[in-house]
Amino acid sequence: MNLSAYTATRLLAISVAALFSVPANASIVKDNFVFTNNSAVVANGSFSYDSSKTGLLTYADLRSFTINLIAQSQSYNLAFARSNRNYRYFGYNTTLNQFVPSLIAGNQGPYVSILSATNRSLTNGFFFDPLQSQSNLGIPHSNDGVFAGYAPYALNTATAFSVSPVPLPSAVILMCSAIGLWGAVSFRRKTSRT
């Protein structure tokens, strides 16, 4: 089969166009997140949600959620977060690509958080204050980056967080196909000239 340069270019253009259309058609979006204190990882995890959800996500919008508090050797999942009613908040803005603070109520009074889920007695769960670079919503000392793990109780500090998307398998396959096609076209052009 002899592909003309024109046909090969069209196939490559179609493959690239399809690659960029995959996320819009995807049904599930998965993101990984990492909280660091300077360069040391202090917590990490992931969450997934339906791609039709945009704006501010809550625990109710999630399909999966896990968080690992590294120093405390604690891990929590979506079932834990949904089952606990004290200081429960997940606020991720899909437009800004970041966790956003909110004033939340609990049995110890209102506090500002960017990510939390604790039980009533505060003997299990986690609570993240906003980072210093984030708004404290007018509550002094609430954006200090301190987070707590409650089983056992321990405090730690986060100075930054990052959220990165996990590529969908179909997008990776499509991208590899496009690169392979481009390589084949380049190879054919090179061999046809000699």
Going from N- to C-terminal start, the domains of the chain cover 1-26+168-194, 29-167
What is the pLDDT at residue 27?
Answer: 87
Bridge partners (DSSP) of residue 57 are: 92
**Phi (first) and psi of residue 128, to 5 degrees:** -110, 120
8-22, 24-38, 94-108, 169-183: segment of lowest average pLDDT:
8-22
Helices 5-25 and 169-193 cross at an angle (nearest 10°) of 170
Other CB atoms within 10 A of residue 97 CB = 12
Average pLDDT over residues 70-96: 93
Rg (CA), the chain: 23
